[in-house]
Amino acid sequence: MGWMPGNTKQGTFTIVIFILLLVCIQVGFYINIPFDYFSGNLLPELTGMLIELCIILFIVDRWQEQNRIQLLIVKEKRLREYLIFFLRHGFKNLPRKYRVGNFYGEEHHDNIEYLDNLFDFIKENGLATQEIDAIRSQCDIDLNTFGNLLPVASELTDGHFKAWSRIVYFMVRISKGLGDDEESIKYIITNIKRYECASHASGIYVGSKNV
């Protein structure tokens, strides 16, 4: 996974409690015969309380982590919906077989196959003026929204953020007529593929088996 547990203070407190538990056990064995330690000493009660506290903290920490992952999945889904919208409307003039389908996160292999086929089609056949104009028009429409969503992408993984920032960069190039539009379009497809791979590798997508 590309992310760490979100609650650092909670984790630190759990470690402290666990260390105290080990100290209590060590002290209990040191000053008592083991049988006496487990049969009639105050330290075992304290040890039991610390064990229960560790279990509670572990359960709470897991619950918080699951909630955090679910929140990331919701954010990934929102970003993915904008990618689908861009692919669906920007490439609407291409032959039907090169138009996007569902593009759900759990259909990773189909998504990669679609993006590879789209990239290869453009590389081998190029794009007509009408097709480039449709993509440029969609970049003009989506550019501000994609730019505003950069902070959302940064909350997922480093891979998501890098892919999203490069998508925005090449949208700017197309929108402002900077450089080769066809090359910029291929770079956008490449980085949508990187986004898809980042979601699959981290398990942050609707239907992930890691949740």
Chain segment 107-165, per-residue pLDDT in tens:
999 999 999 999 999 999 999 999 999 999 999 999 999 999 999 999 999 999 999 99
Q: Which residues touch 66 (CB under 8 Å, ≥6 apart)?
A: 211
CA 129, CA 140: separation in Å to the nearest integer? Answer: 16
In terms of Cα–Cα distance, which of 195, 91, 163, 77 is closest to 100?
Answer: 91
- pLDDT-derived band at 7 (thresholds 50, 70, 90) equals very low
CB 199 within 8 A of CB 76: yes
> Looking at residue 91, what is its pLDDT?
94
Per residue in 46-91, pLDDT (tens digit) is 666 777 777 777 777 777 777 788 899 999 999 999 999 999 999 9
Q: What element of type H or E holds 24?
A: helix 8-31
Mean pLDDT, all residues of the chain:
83
Q: Are 70 and 211 in contact (CB under 8 A)?
A: yes
Query: If you count them, how many residues does the chain have?
Result: 211
